[in-house]
């Protein structure tokens, strides 16, 4: 229990005792009442603390599960950076010999689901430190001073746990630290400011027992919101980027989550890793879990490649929906998706994995692609091809129906977003120019010019494949799915 709660409890007992004396209650009854109050107080504390100030204590009581860096896949670079920083806790004699100042904090940044919390848990195991975990939201209250008190209690509890466990170091992990570490704007948010100020003070080591070295590890996916005083050297000395895993990392993660599952012998996790470009570690874990659920539904003894394909679609697009559509809607959706797929196969051969009319999430149909390799840099040609693939659905509807439908809304948003990237990267006819120097009219004119030219190229391309459209459409309407290999056979004239 925090010091504020103790002081308030003692004060309440003194006031109650004076009041009872004032009203003339016999001393024996007062003593019995106080004993009863003390018993209830101790019982409440044993069950988790009074409501006042208990949230910080409860968060400090959480223990990490047994986890090592070997149990975390796909983050080789962050693991190397983190273990190097943690060695300052493990090898104190070396850093003292070289005069290295101990690290005060490590900030893990990156998209959600990439393993930042797992890295913090593994760090505690690696250093054999006492470990306390909390969330940034647990320190925010409407009453000024409460959050600051909980910060003090958190660091105090970390040191006490280290002494109790006979450890000379403790690790405090604060998830979503932007909840308390946001930029100070000089406004009236006194509670937020005092909480952050107390955190800065604790990290500086102004208070506390330095015989127990406390390392703060924090995680956020919104680093740009953090206060500059928190990010400076001497507080967060290391800022480690935890990005989405590459192909090798995804395969490693899949293998880790496949250890306790009966995977069919013909399943290639390397192929699954190729098809899950852009997936986070959490999404990959969900893929393996959903595949096992599909296997259980079918009463299968092992997880097959078909189960994994279904799981990828579910994680990417959402659960399969039982929507009743008319014949006309099904044909329009089929034409739309085939437009995407045929353009994709022409500009990026072997890229289509499957065309489906199965409604998932908000989509009535979809095309699943598997990239040839992970990309981090994009040329003008690649971006133009991506825009043509996005426009393929709407252009196909125009060719066969003479007009578009509302199903193209998401495609247009994707296309205009790519056009914006092209302009900001100096790939348009405007050349290298600051985006803020352009007026809204200039943006619209350049955006329309690029999209009109690529729409015409897409129309010419699809116009050459009207026969392939009819063959593919019949199969897709009948079977609801069309594999990438079947589409390629139709386009090359090999279909029976």
Most confident range (mean pLDDT) of 25-39, 322-336, 389-403 is 389-403
pLDDT at 57: 41
- Contact present, 119 and 242 (Cβ < 8 Å): yes
Q: 3-state DSSP call for residue 231?
A: helix
Options 81, 176, 274, 337, the catalytic residue: 337
pTM: 0.65
State the Cα–Cα distance between residues 203 and 154, nearest whole angstrom: 12
- Higher pLDDT, residue 43 or 236: 236
**Least trusted range by pLDDT, from 228-242, 349-363, 465-479:** 349-363
CATH of domain 69-241: 3.40.50.300
pLDDT digits (tens, 9 = 90+) for 283-335: 999 999 999 999 999 999 999 988 998 898 888 877 766 666 677 888 888 89
pLDDT tens for 424-444 read 999 988 888 888 888 889 899
Radius of gyration in angstroms for the set of CA atoms belonging to the chain, rounded to a whole number? 30
Compute the distance between CA of residue 366 and CA of residue 353 in angstroms, rounded to an integer.
11
Give the CATH number of domain 327-491. Answer: 1.20.58.760
Segment 268-293, tens digit of pLDDT: 898 888 888 888 888 999 999 999 99
Q: Starting at the earlier edge strand, list the strands of the sheet with 481-483.
A: 366-369, 352-356, 481-483
* Token couple for 71: 């149990």
Distance CA 89, CA 84 (A): 10
3-state secondary structure of 218: strand
CA angle, corner 153, sides to 151 and 154, nearest 5? Answer: 65
What count of other Cβ atoms lies within 10 Å of the Cβ of residue 271? 15
Q: Confidence class of residue 55 from pLDDT cuts 50, 70 and 90?
A: very low
Percent over 70 (pLDDT), the chain: 79
Run of H or E including 85? helix 76-90
CA distance 242 to 315: 21
Q: What is the pLDDT of residues 160-216, one digit of tens each?
A: 888 888 888 888 888 888 877 777 765 545 556 777 888 888 877 644 456 788 888
337 is catalytic: yes
Task: Give the chain's mean pLDDT.
Answer: 80
Question: In this structure, are strands 481-483 and 352-356 parallel, antiparallel, or unpaired?
Answer: antiparallel
Q: Compute the residue count for the chain.
A: 496
| Residue % of the chain over a pLDDT of 90 | 19
Beta strands in 139-212 (DSSP E): 169-175
Flag whether pLDDT at 363 surpasses 80.
no
CA distance 351 to 13: 74
User: Which stretch, 13-22, 96-105, 345-354, has highest mean pLDDT?
Assistant: 345-354
C-alpha 203: how far from its chain's center? 27
436-469 residues labelled b (16+ CB within 10 A) or e (exposed): eebeeeebeebbeebbeebbebbeebbeebeebb
Q: Which uninterrupted H or E stretch holds 130?
A: strand 130-135
Q: Over 70: is that where the pLDDT of 16 sits?
A: no
For residue range 72-118, list pLDDT tens digits in order: 887 888 888 888 888 877 777 777 788 877 778 889 998 888 888 88
Provide the sign of the torsion angle of the four alpha carbons 270, 275, 279, 283, taken in this order: negative
Interval 35-54 mean pLDDT: 48
- Mean pLDDT in residue range 121-150: 75
pLDDT value of position 420: 92
Looking at domain 247-317, its CATH class is mainly alpha
Asked if 195 contacts 180 with a C-beta cutoff of 8 angstroms, the reply is yes
Q: How confident is the model at residue 59 (pLDDT cuts 50, 70, 90)?
A: very low
- Stretch 260-274: mean pLDDT: 89
Short-list 259, 211, 277, 229, CA closest to 105: 229
What DSSP assignment string belongs to 476-496?
HHHHSEEEHHHHHHHHTT---
User: Per the structure block, which two tokens stand in for 424?
Assistant: 């900001």
For the chain, give every domain's residue range: 3-52, 69-241, 247-317, 327-491
């Amino acid at each position: 229990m925090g010091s504020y709660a103790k002081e308030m409890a003692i004060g309440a007992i003194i006031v109650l005792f004076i009041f009872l004396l004032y009203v003339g209650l016999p001393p024996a009854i007062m003593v019995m009442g106080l004993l009863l109050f003390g018993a209830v107080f101790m019982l409440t504390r044993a069950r988790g603390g009074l409501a006042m100030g208990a949230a910080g204590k409860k968060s400090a009581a959480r223990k990490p599960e047994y986890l090592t860096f070997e149990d975390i896949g796909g983050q080789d670079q962050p693991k190397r950076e983190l273990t190097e920083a943690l060695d300052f806790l493990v090898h104190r004699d070396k850093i003292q010999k070289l005069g290295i100042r101990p690290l005060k904090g490590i900030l893990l940044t990156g998209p959600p689901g990439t393993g930042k919390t797992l890295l913090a848990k593994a760090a505690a195991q690696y250093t054999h430190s006492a470990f306390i975990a909390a969330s940034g939201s647990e320190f925010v209250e409407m009453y000024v001073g409460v959050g600051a008190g909980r910060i003090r209690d958190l660091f105090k509890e970390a040191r006490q746990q280290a002494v109790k466990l006979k450890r000379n170091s403790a690790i405090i992990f604060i998830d979503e630290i932007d909840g308390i570490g946001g930029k100070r704007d000089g406004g009236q948010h006194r509670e937020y400011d005092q909480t952050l100020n107390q955190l800065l003070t604790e990290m500086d080591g102004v208070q506390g027992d330095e015989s127990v070295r406390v390392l703060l590890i924090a995680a956020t996916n919104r680093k740009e919101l953090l206060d500059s005083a928190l990010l400076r050297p001497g507080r967060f000395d290391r800022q480690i980027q935890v990005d989405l895993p590459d192909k090798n990392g995804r395969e490693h993660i899949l293998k880790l989550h496949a250890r306790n599952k009966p995977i069919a012998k013909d399943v290639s996790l390397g192929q699954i890793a190729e098809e899950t470009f852009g997936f986070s570690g959490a999404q990959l874990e969900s893929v393996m879990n959903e595949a096992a659920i599909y296997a259980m539904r079918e009463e299968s003894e092992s997880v097959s490649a078909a189960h994994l394909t279904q799981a990828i679609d579910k994680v990417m697009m959402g659960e399969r929906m039982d929507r009743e559509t008319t014949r006309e809607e099904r044909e329009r959706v089929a034409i739309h998706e085939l437009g995407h797929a045929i353009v994709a196969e022409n500009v990026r051969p072997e890229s289509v994995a499957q065309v489906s009319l199965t409604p998932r999430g908000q989509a009535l149909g979809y095309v699943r692609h598997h990239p040839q390799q992970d990309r981090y840099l994009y040329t003008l040609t690649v971006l133009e091809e991506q825009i043509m693939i996005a426009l393929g659905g709407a252009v196909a509807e125009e060719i066969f129906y003479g007009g578009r439908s509302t199903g193209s809304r998401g495609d247009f948003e994707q296309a205009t977003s790519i056009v914006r990237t092209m302009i900001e990267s100096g790939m348009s006819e405007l050349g290298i120019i600051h985006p803020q120097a352009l007026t809204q009219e200039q943006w619209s004119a350049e955006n329309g010019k690029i999209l009109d030219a690529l729409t015409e190229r897409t129309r010419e391309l699809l116009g050459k494949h009207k026969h392939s459209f009819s063959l593919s459409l019949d199969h897709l309407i009948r079977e609801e799915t069309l594999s990438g290999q079947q589409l390629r056979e139709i386009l090359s004239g090999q279909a029976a």
